[in-house]
Every structure is written in C-alpha cells, then in structure tokens.
C-alpha cells in the first residue's frame, strides 16, 4: 500500500523517465536474431523488459519459459523460439493465461511450427516444437493486438523466402507496427508496405549500436499532473519531437488541455497555459495507452470527454475500462463505458475517496489515477509495486517532486 499527497498542488521539477519499454523489448529480440553483436544503451528497467532479457539469455538451456505477467514478452518469445531448434513450454501468470494468443499461434503453425495448447485452446500455456519456418502469405485482421503483427515482422527476415502479411481490416495501434518496421529498417531490413500487404524478404539484420529514447507513454502521467496543478513546469530529458513512438501525439492532445510542449535539442519542457477546451472527442485506436491519463485529466479539469477506439483495453493487465470506471466512482466521478469507448458527459464534484484505490494488478490504473491527488487531500493505493511493470521509479519521482513543492 502507498498513500500520496501534494499539499500546495504545485509541481516543478525535472523527471528522467524510463527508456521506452516498447523499443527496448523489440531491440532485445532483434539483437538475438542478429548474427553480429551490438550494444544497446539506455535499456528500460521495466519489469517486462527485465523478464524478456532474462528469458532470451537463458532460452537455450531453460526449456520451460515463464513470462509471468509480461504480455509483450510472451508474444515476442513465442515467435522467437519458433525460429530456433528445440521444444519449449511457454507459460505466464494466471492473468496471462486469460489473454488470447490464437491469431499468432495459427500463423506460426501455417509457417511450419508445431504448437499445442496445454490447457485451454487459444490461450497460454503452450508447447512449441520449432521446425524450419517457410514462407507463406499470412492473413491477419488489423484489430488484433499489434504485438502479434510485430512478433511476426521481427522474425520475418529469418524465414526462408521471407514473409507476406495481409492485413484484412483496419489496423489498431498502427504506430506500434510503424515502430517495429522503423527498427527493422534501422538494422538494415528492407520491407514494403503497400495498401494492406506488408512484405519482408529473407535477409540478415545489420548490427549497429543504438541508444533508446525515453518513454513517451510514461510522460502522459506528468502531462496529467501538470494539467491538474495550480502552477508548475516540468522538464523531461531524452524526449524528442520526431520520435518513432506513436504516443508522442501527447503534445498535440494536451495542447487542448492546458499544456504547451517546448521542444529542445535533448529534452522537452511542459508549461501550463489557459488554452483548455470545454469538451473533447478523440479516436485513440492508434494510442489506446493514453486513454486513462486523458480521461483522468478531463475529469480533473471538468471537461466533457468521449474517447473511442479502445477495444484492446479489455485484454490488458486488467479490463481497463471496467477498472477505471470502478475506481473513479470512489472520487464521485461517473462515466459511461462500452466495449470500445468511455464517456464523461458533465463536470462532476470530485471528492476524496473513502476507501483505498484498487490497482487491479495494472500499472496504468495506478499511475493514471495518481494525478487526482491535485484535486483531493490524499489517495491510498493498494499496491505500491504494481508500477514496476513499466515505470519502477514512478513513486520515487513523485516523492522527489512533491518534496520540492510542499
């Protein structure tokens, strides 16, 4: 448990975020697939990345792989070991065994891997026996987890005669696929994405040392803190305007929520403004991880808000729409949800929760709600360590900033 408060509701300081977990995880896979060694600087300290790194270090001797609650690691590892010789059992936490993987498994089987489900069809755990994968034209709907598509794209250059992916419907979380392809290109892989076909020929990764930029999605919580503060200014090093991270769209979204982003050569600085809209409607199908901090910001500012394109949130660490609705009720905030959207129709009187905020074993629930401490005396959370999954220093950063301003 942890309790947070910020007495004077001002926030000034510099926040050195974790590096991008999404980039880190992709680079770890690329490094293992590359025939020549290279150095990765500023690798994320997120729990997910540490789990993936350990698995990749040990996979040749440990044939039972436990990905714990690291969804990205599980999906990427399944595709990765399918390219290697051996038999592996891949499992995870109880929640991971409730998160579907059938589209990825079906594709790997089509490519030649032998895979069987060990419990419930379509879900982990699985046993995978790798064979030489051979080229196929695979069809996948675009509204599945983008991690399935990214996992296949990263192994595509190692497949005999390459791989063609046909995306049969609108792509959700497209920036994450763009990120994967951008990193492939960075390491010498040529590809072609025309209309709904992505083609990657068989070829070798070309090694190069690389430094990972910091995590734009983690910056969202500090945008929210500043937007709800009385006054403040926040500097965030190692973020840039021309980022390969789709969540850099934050700067544009929050320009309507009272935050101006100043871009410098090696940092951004966030400033408060009076430019706040009365209502906002956004399609976040490309950036679903931003939905929770945005909804909390709008609650705190008293803005009517309608966020759409959130289908993927129900299969995250928790059903995020259900979880955030339940926890916001403790602040006297009422919102409407359906399977893909969340809406707040009117300004509401925010009150201090009488009970502890449940994190639902979901890092983004905890960090998204934390900025509401700008509107109430204090907030208690039931799980301090839940943030370790993506941003281990979150409470430490908050504590340091709060001491600067109390």
Between CA 224 and CA 232 the distance in angstroms is 12
Q: What is the pLDDT of residues 141-195, one digit of tens each?
A: 887 788 999 999 999 999 999 999 999 888 878 889 999 999 999 999 999 999 8
Q: Are 260 and 273 in contact (CB under 8 A)?
A: yes
Whose structure tokens read 């994405």? 193
**What is the pLDDT, as a whole number, of residue 193?**
94
Task: Count Cβ atoms below 10 Å from residue 386 Cβ, excluding itself.
Answer: 23
Active-site option among 247, 289, 362, 397: 289
**What is the pLDDT, as a whole number, of residue 405?**
61
pLDDT in tens, the chain (406 residues): 999 888 888 899 999 999 999 999 999 999 999 999 999 999 999 889 999 999 999 988 888 999 998 889 999 999 999 999 999 999 999 989 998 999 999 999 999 999 999 999 999 999 999 888 988 899 998 877 889 999 999 999 999 999 999 998 888 788 899 999 999 999 999 999 998 999 999 999 999 999 999 999 999 999 999 999 999 999 999 998 889 999 999 999 999 999 999 999 889 999 999 999 999 999 999 999 999 999 999 999 999 999 999 888 877 777 889 999 999 999 999 999 998 999 998 878 899 999 999 999 899 999 999 999 999 999 999 999 999 988 999 999 998 887 766 5
Token couple for 148:
């399935």
Whose structure tokens read 């959207």? 341
Domains and CATH numbers, the chain: 2-19+213-405 (3.65.10.10), 21-211 (3.65.10.10)
Between CA 17 and CA 211 the distance in angstroms is 14
Q: Are 285 and 148 in contact (CB under 8 A)?
A: no
Angle at 398 between CA 396 and CA 403, to 5 degrees: 95
**What is the pLDDT, as a whole number, of residue 20?**
93
289: annotated active-site residue: yes
**What is the pLDDT, as a whole number, of residue 157?**
96
Token couple for 223:
């945008």
Between CA 372 and CA 291 the distance in angstroms is 15
Global pTM value: 0.88
Instruction: Count CA within 13 A, CB hemisphere, residue 291.
Output: 33
Please, what sign has the CA dihedral across residues 113, 116, 122, 126? negative
Cα dihedral: 132, 138, 141, 146 (round 10): 40
Whose structure tokens read 């929770």? 292
**What is the pLDDT, as a whole number, of residue 404?**
67
Per-residue b or e along 356-379, where b marks 16 or more CB atoms closer than 10 Å to that residue's CB: bbbbbbbbbbbbbbbbbbbbeeeb
């Amino acid at each position: 448990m942890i309790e947070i408060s910020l007495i004077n509701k001002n926030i000034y300081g510099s926040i050195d975020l974790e590096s991008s977990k999404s980039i880190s995880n992709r680079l770890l896979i690329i490094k293992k697939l590359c025939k020549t060694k290279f150095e990765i600087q500023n690798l994320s300290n997120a729990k997910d990345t540490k789990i993936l790194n350990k698995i990749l270090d040990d996979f040749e001797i440990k044939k039972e792989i436990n990905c714990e609650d690291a969804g990205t690691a599980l999906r990427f590892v399944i595709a990765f070991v399918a390219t290697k010789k051996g038999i592996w059992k891949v499992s995870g936490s109880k929640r991971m065994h409730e998160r579907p993987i059938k589209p990825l498994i079906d594709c790997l089987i089509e490519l030649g891997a032998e895979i069987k489900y060990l419990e419930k069809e379509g879900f982990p755990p699985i046993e995978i026996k790798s064979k030489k994968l051979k080229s196929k034209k695979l069809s996948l709907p675009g509204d599945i987890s983008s991690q399935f598509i990214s996992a296949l794209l990263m192994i595509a250059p190692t497949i005999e005669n390459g791989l063609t992916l046909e995306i049969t419907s609108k792509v959700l979380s497209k920036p994450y696929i763009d990120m994967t392809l951008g990193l492939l290109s960075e390491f010498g892989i040529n590809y072609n994405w025309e209309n709904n076909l992505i083609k990657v020929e068989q070829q070798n990764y070309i090694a190069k040392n690389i430094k990972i930029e910091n995590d734009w999605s983690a910056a969202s919580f500090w945008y929210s803190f500043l937007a709800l503060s009385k006054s403040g200014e926040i500097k965030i090093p190692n973020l840039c305007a021309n980022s390969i991270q789709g969540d850099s769209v934050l700067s544009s979204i929050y320009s309507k929520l009272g935050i101006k982003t100043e871009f410098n050569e090696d940092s951004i600085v966030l400033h408060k403004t009076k430019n706040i809209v009365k209502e906002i409607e956004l399609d976040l199908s490309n950036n679903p991880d931003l939905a929770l901090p945005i909804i909390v910001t709008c609650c705190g500012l008293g803005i009517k808000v309608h966020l759409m394109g959130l289908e993927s949130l129900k299969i995250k660490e928790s059903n995020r729409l259900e979880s955030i609705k339940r926890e916001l009720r403790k602040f006297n905030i009422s919102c409407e949800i359906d399977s893909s959207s969340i809406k707040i129709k009117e300004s509401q009187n925010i009150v201090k929760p009488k009970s502890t905020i449940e994190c639902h074993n979901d890092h983004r629930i905890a960090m998204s709600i934390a900025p509401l401490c700008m509107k109430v005396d204090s907030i208690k959370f039931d799980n301090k360590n839940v943030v370790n999954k993506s941003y281990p220093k979150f409470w430490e950063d908050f504590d340091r900033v709060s001491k600067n301003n109390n």
